[in-house]
Amino acid sequence: MRRSVVVAVLIVLGLLAGGCKEELDTFTVTVPTDSMAPTFHAGQEVSVTEVADDYEPELGDLVYFEDPGGWLVGGGDEGHLIKRVMGVPGDTIVCCDSAGRISVNGEAIDEASYILPRKTCAGAGVGFGCRWTVGPVPEESVFVLGDNRGASADSRAHMCQPTEDPCSQSPWVPFDSIQGTADPD
């Protein structure tokens, strides 16, 4: 009898703990440009889920964040962007290997599901083009890229030029400016 009471109490406590999860808001934003095509297109409405206080971005997450300063050209969704996380704290990101793939910590990333063929290194005019290395990503920050690499002013466009000393910009997006994650479906 005592054993069944303990089991019942544990079940009730488990149910109560499950009900105490933080409720996260979902909201809709309109994508201002084609920088995330083919995942998202200009004018498309996208569902964004607010992030919890303890959110830790992962490689591949689609994050909605406040412009860290000077990233948006011509405005946009009230100073916010959506980009794909391509580096988290401690990561070193390299573009590109002989197959045109980005590598994170020496591992080539398969982006075939969201990058059009031979478009990984497109847009040599944005940032450093197709030959660059950045990292390690500092704590509490991420490195982000748009899926439409040829038309995205993302972290690459904010890397310091080798001749720039001191560096006046930063390619990092601070965790605290990430306000949500976008759903591609």
Spatial separation of the C-alpha atoms in residues 125 and 134, rounded to whole Å? 17
Single out the catalytic residue among 4, 21, 47, 83: 83
Q: Which residue out of 4, 21, 35, 113 is catalytically annotated?
A: 35
Residue 35 known to be catalytic? yes
Has 83 been annotated as catalytic?
Answer: yes
Tell me which residues are annotated as active site: 35, 83
